[in-house]
């Protein structure tokens, strides 16, 4: 069954806009797990625009499901992950000025660096996932540098899905098959929502995990957090 990991960055964005501790990011994580989510994802960035390094440290003892930390593996990020020791780290090549993650790794071009990073995290017993575009060739490359999983960047899927679902899923299905052939686990995330999630899971049922934040938190403004988490669980557990 595909697991739902909820990215709580946007809750921190709202808190940071006003200062103080409303909404409470730590309470939100605990509640989201109580509502049934099977993981918590955070993506700290150097500018501290949402989740802070201090949040990551405070969340570690509170996350009783799977804790996934995403980010660009610069020195401070690597040190944080090795200190906190989450269940999974997802390596994302986001630039400092990126509004959100907008591309996967060109793994062959960064093979030496990524291999060293995977080794460092494996020494701590942390599963490593590498963020990739829907390019099948990246799966063998990810395996070669030591990754345990790949996470497919699903923005293009979400953009095409409303007009042509079959066209939208096609490169992701090919990449998912390549990941399975390479012996990698498979994650997915970015712009997945209640309209497109179930179709994705039906077509790629061996997806291990989806990470969803922006759409889920936005939906929760209308439906409430508990109801929304349960709606996403229904879509994720469609099989």
Cis status of the peptide bond prior to 225, with omega within 30 of 0: no
User: Which helix H or strand E contains 209, and what residues bound it?
Assistant: strand 209-212
Query: Distance between CA atoms of 228 and 234, rounded to whole angstroms?
Result: 10
Q: What is the dihedral of CA 73, 79, 83, 85, to 10 degrees?
A: 20
Find the catalytic residue in 66, 70, 151, 209: 70
Q: Annotated catalytic residue: which of 43, 50, 151, 209?
A: 43
User: Is 70 assigned a catalytic role?
Assistant: yes
- For Cα atoms 192, 197, 201, give the angle at the middle one, nearest 5 degrees: 125
Write down the catalytic residue from 38, 50, 190, 209.
190
In b/e form, how buried is each residue of 170-202, taking b as 16+ CB within 10 angstroms?
ebbeebbebbeebebbbbbbbbbbbebbebbbe
75 is an active site residue: no
Active site residue ranges: 43, 70, 190
């Amino acid at each position: 069954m595909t697991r739902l990991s909820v990215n709580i960055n946007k809750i921190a964005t709202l808190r940071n806009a006003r200062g103080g501790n409303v909404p409470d990011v730590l309470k939100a994580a605990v509640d989201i797990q109580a509502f049934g989510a099977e993981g918590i994802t955070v993506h700290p960035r150097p500018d501290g625009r949402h989740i802070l390094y201090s949040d990551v440290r405070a969340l570690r003892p509170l996350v009783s499901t799977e804790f996934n930390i995403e980010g660009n593996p610069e020195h401070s990020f690597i040190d944080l992950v090795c200190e906190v020791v989450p269940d999974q780290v997802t390596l994302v090549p986001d630039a400092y000025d990126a509004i959100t993650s907008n591309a996967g790794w060109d793994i062959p071009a960064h093979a030496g660096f990524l291999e060293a990073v995977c080794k460092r995290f494996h020494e701590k017993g942390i599963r490593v996932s590498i963020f990739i575009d829907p390019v099948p060739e990246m799966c063998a490359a990810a395996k070669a540098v030591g990754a345990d999983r790949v996470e497919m960047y699903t923005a293009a899927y979400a953009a095409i899905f409303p007009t042509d679902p079959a066209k939208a899923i096609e490169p992701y299905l090919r990449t998912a098959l390549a990941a399975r052939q390479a012996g990698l686990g498979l994650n997915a995330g970015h712009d997945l929502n209640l309209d497109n999630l179930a179709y994705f899971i039906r077509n790629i049922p061996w997806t291990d995990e989806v990470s969803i934040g922006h759409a889920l938190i936005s939906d929760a403004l209308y439906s409430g957090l508990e109801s929304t988490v349960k709606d996403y669980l229904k879509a994720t557990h469609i099989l």
